[in-house]
Amino acid sequence: MLRSTLLAAARSQGVRRLVEANPLTKPVVARFVAGTTPEDAVRATRALRDQNMYVTLDHLGEDTLLAQQAADTVHAYQQMLQALSAEGLADRAEVSVKLSAVGQFLPADGEKIALDNARLICEAAAAAGTTVTLDMEDHTTTDSTLGILRDLRVDFPWVGAVLQAYLHRTEQDCRDLAGEGSRVRLCKGAYSEPASVAYQDKAEVDRSYVRCLKILMEGDGYPMVASHDPRMVAIAADLAARSGRSADSYEFQMLFGIRAEEQKRIASEGNKLRVYVAYGDEWYGYFMRRLAERPANLVFFLRSLLSQ
Ligand code: FAD
């Protein structure tokens, strides 16, 4: 109930204005968002690199209905990729892209514009010597995103995608994407979805996550285990061992600011650990999804507002 209210608020412009206007929100946002500028993102990447971790950078933004805003997002990614290369960090950091930030929802030709824009980001990533992973948004975009993934992989076979274990369809999507060279980031799913397409019960989502993990680990692709759940992390390690995978044939991934000690532990035990680092001004939707994932975050947020 609380989760769906927060996820509805994540898409409300009225609540957005209220939350953004409150200066006391900023310090709480800083727990999950690495800053607003490319320099902030590079600084966070360097600090994680120094702890033997890898990074995927998300220039925040989503759901744009303006072609110019989509073009600006592409430009921001191009600049970021150049900066990573210039700083010698491109072997440690890739980028994550939301197709709705580069035009997927534009009323005329949105899908084609998103594909063309994503292609420009892939070209910049190729020039820098790194990779791109497509984030997955709500279920109405899944077919479109996987279609764009297929098109991009013709020229850039290393482009990866996120699959969400809460969707009923995802086991089949995992089978389709478990082939050689395929990079799949498996997460539980962060949006509010109806029972017609998604498991509603946490235990059911967890069971689906394990079934999907099994398919990916037994396949020939490169699984990216995106979860903070200690059970999922342990099961992933076990399935990888049973499938005869070496430590460099899959990786763990967590979000910036969440379970940082666990991130250090995983990386220190010889595993590859990548941190998803979000930066930029458009933090509202991302921040609200982080609040929705854990009631304690909301309590922390409200308490910090009330204690001022
Ligand atoms: P949960 O069962 O939700 O959490 C397990 C434990 O992790 C909790 O008990 C708590 O200790 C900790 N935890 C989890 N979330 C939080 C939080 N917000 N704050 C503090 N502690 C927390 N979702 C999408 O729908 N599309 C995407 O493209 C996408 N990309 C992602 C990329 C990465 C690298 C990661 C790690 C997640 C991504 N997600 C994405 C979010 C994901 O779907 C989940 O909503 C989120 O990861 C919480 O699920 P969990 O697997 O960590 O397990």
Confirm if 223 and 186 have CB atoms less than 8 A apart.
yes
Q: What residue's CA is closest to ligand 1, atom 9?
A: 229
Going through 171-282 in order, the beta strands assigned E by DSSP cover 183-187, 222-226, 251-255, 273-279
Catalytic annotation present for 135:
yes
Sign, CA dihedral 165-166-171-174, equals negative
Is 185 noted as a catalytic residue in this protein?
Answer: yes
Q: Can you read off the two tokens belonging to residue 183?
A: 């990079």
Answer yes or no: do 302 and 270 share one domain. no
Check the CA dihedral 259-55-252-63 and report its sign: positive
Residue owning tokens 């990916």: 216
Is 190 part of any domain?
A: yes
Tell me the chain's radius of gyration from C-alpha atoms.
18
pLDDT of residue 23: 81
Clarify whether residues 271 and 194 are in a common domain.
yes
CA of 293 to the centre of ligand 1 (A): 7
State residue 238's pLDDT score: 98
Domain residues for 4? 1-31+293-308
Does 71 share its domain with 175? yes
Instruction: Clarify whether residues 27 and 41 are in a common domain.
Output: no
> Can you name the residues that pair with 254 across neighbouring β-strands?
275
| pLDDT beneath 70: ranges in the chain | 305-308
Question: Same domain for 136 and 57?
Answer: yes
Distance 226 CA to ligand 1 centre (A): 7
User: E strands, 102-145, where?
Assistant: 132-134
Whether residues 275 and 189 share a domain: the answer is yes
Domain membership of residue 287 (yes or no) is no
Same domain, 190 and 49: yes
Residue 111 lies in a domain: yes
Count Cβ atoms below 10 Å from residue 50 Cβ, excluding itself: 9
Helix, strand or coil, per DSSP, at residue 52: coil
Based on the fold, state whether residues 220 and 126 are members of the same structural domain: yes
